[in-house]
Chain A
Amino acid sequence: MTLLEVRDLSVQLQTKTGFATAVDRLSFTVNEGEILGIAGESGSGKTMTALTLLGLLPQHAKVSGSAKFNGQELIGLSSKEWQKFRGAQIAMVFQDPMTSLHPMLSIKAQMTEHMVTHLGISQQQALVDAEELLADVRIPDPKKALNSYAGQFSGGMRQRICIAMALACKPKLLLADEPSTALDVTVQAGILTLLNRLRKEHQLSIIFITHDLGVLSSITNKLLVLYAGREAESGSTSTILQLPRHPYTQGLLDSLPQPDSNEKLLKSIAGFPPELGKQPIGCAFAERCKFAAATCSGDELLPTYLADSHKFICAVDPFAGLSINQVRP
């Protein structure tokens, strides 16, 4: 069952010099119980995509295209209508748990306020549920935690609280924006396990946003690789990780640490992504790409569709016909 269907979603942000395209004609779907990973460097439009799905873009942003959630069109909702969706149907966990909890409101107040708003339950009932939720995300002594403040918890614990808070109204879709990036590696693993378990238990769909393909490989079913607001490659996680067709995806994979590799230095992609609003026509990655050719720029590029809904947009396609071993020695 398709839960979320995004078609040609574009977002333009206001900058000092006019409007700049932050998200460029993205299309993707999320099925029920599925985890879609969105990968890309910072500034690639990952977070903007998530914020669009919550109606939380800056006031003057322009949005076009379509995003259907359970058949209902989200783009163009009024702020009142958005309020019914946000938190209730679609929830979000933010990158930095240190700053996304209110420092001066008790956990109790923050856990229950939207439950009372969305579910129409009493404060007492909300408290009982909140305690259960905290136990569910493995917060020790949930009763005490409810009466505490954000400052009393470690980063990992705070992120668990944020997750519990996001799940409080039983949303169908969870947007996780780099939920583990700000945390220690060991804590990261815990959060990932938790999200995966919650997905199964709560029949949750998740859009998992990160720049770390390593994290995505362990929990996602599908991948969408973004570059400069545009889709570079998409498909099932296993296919893309085994046989990436876009040089940028390849670059991201190469920059992951390889435990069995002999090389001492991590590879990185030379250069920087184009500035917001300065994406060229054609392939935005061309100027950093070692395979770049004349066909890369000037014209709009057409996507190439492969089996298993694998799709990429590259005019050169340097990895065509290679086997796994040839691509990743």
Chain B
Amino acid sequence: MRKNPDSPIRQPLAVIGVTILTIWILIAIFAPLIAPSNPIAQNYGQLLPPNSHNWFGTDSVGRDVLSRVIYGARITLPLSMMLVILAMLVGTVIGAIAGYFGGWIDAALMRFTDVVLAFPGIILAMAVAAALGAELRNAVFAVVLVAWPTYARLVRGLILSSKNADYVTSSRLLGASTTRALFVDLRPNISGPVFVLAALEAGNGMLLLSGLSFLGLGARPPSAEWGAMVSAGANNFDKWWLAVFPGLAILTAVLAFNFLGDALRDILDPRTAKALRE
């Protein structure tokens, strides 16, 4: 006999995802307590391979890679959260306006969304980040700029399909305002899928952001951003520990989000899951 498909036990991926995320968040919060060394202090010999003192080795100026990876969580995690929330807000507002008002507003907003989606995301983000100047803040902005359309399309679709549901119509017949319809009657139908999408997209955003840093368009040295650290490893590729550990940090954090999002999507009812896939 099989276990109940809806129980959390049936979703080991979700459990793994939440566990990894919690660990990373704890690491970020307690970084000063956990890290064996200051992440920007050049305390050690240069380019030491992993040893009993420096578990992850040291970099080209003698900084402890483990400490830098630990402190890196303080940069990447909050920024990823921030860009997910921003993209979610922008996309949801645009999608809600398009879906709710319909007509030419919808047409114009959705064509705009199509155009942004037709752009190769990484390249548009690179262009924007480069144009604004290579800074972490600008990189976040660039990622938000390419990430919002997915939310907009989802929200618009959800609104269109539930706008004419009886309970919304009856609420409007009773004289409820547009805002009431949007925020009270429609919100419960939208928030679930949007949060699942956010979980699924968080990983993508993190990849794009660290990718920009890797390309030198985000965090700058001596910042301990993971993507930038991998980039430093690229310059000394025979010193494998420089790139491998920060890369693993990115991988596990992104993986945690993807596990969580994937499991959440399965728990949602099939119709919403389908809307998400599209």
List residues of chain A with CB under 8 Å of any chain B CB: 14, 16-17, 60
**7 cross-chain pairs, A with B, having the tightest CB-CB distances, nearest first:** A16-B4, A16-B6, A16-B5, A14-B2, A60-B2, A17-B4, A14-B1
Contact indicator per residue, chain B 3-38, by CB within 8 Å of chain A (1) or not (0) = 011100000000000000000000000000000000
Report A-chain residues with C-beta under 8 Å of the C-beta of B1: 14
A17 to B2, CA, bound (A): 10
Q: Which residue of B lies closest to A60 (CB)?
A: B2
Compute how far the CA of A14 lies from the CA of B1 in the bound complex, rounded to whole angstroms: 9
Task: Return 7 A-B CB contacts under 8 Å, by A number.
Answer: A14-B1, A14-B2, A16-B4, A16-B5, A16-B6, A17-B4, A60-B2
Q: Which bracket fits the contact residues of B?
A: under 10
B5 CB contacts on chain A under 8 angstroms: 16
Complex-state Cα separation, A17 to B5, whole angstroms: 10
State the CA gap A17–B6 with chains docked (Å). Answer: 11
Q: Which residues of B contact A17 (CB under 8 A)?
A: 4
How many whole Å from A123's CB to the nearest CB in chain B?
38
CA distance A4 to B4 in the complex (A): 37
Chain B nearest CB: distance from A258 CB in Å?
32
**CB-nearest residue of chain A to B4:** A16
B-chain residues with CB within 8 Å of residue A14 when the two chains form the complex: 1-2
The docked-state distance in angstroms from the alpha carbon of A16 to that of B267 is 13
Q: Which residues of A lie under 8 Å from residue B6 when comparing CB positions?
A: 16
Q: Which residues of B lie under 8 Å from residue A16 when comparing CB positions?
A: 4-6
CA gap between A17 and B1 in the complex, in Å: 11
Smallest CB separation, B267 vs chain A (Å): 12
Chain A residues whose C-beta falls within 8 Å of the C-beta of B2 in the assembled complex: 14, 60
Per the 8 Å Cβ criterion, residues 59-109 of B in contact with A are none
Q: Give the complex CA separation of A60 and B4 in angstroms.
A: 14
- Closest Cβ of chain A to B133, distance in Å, is 52
Chain B 117-136: CB-based contact to A (< 8 A → 1; otherwise 0) = 00000000000000000000
Please, how many angstroms separate the alpha-carbon atoms of A14 and B4 in the complex? 10
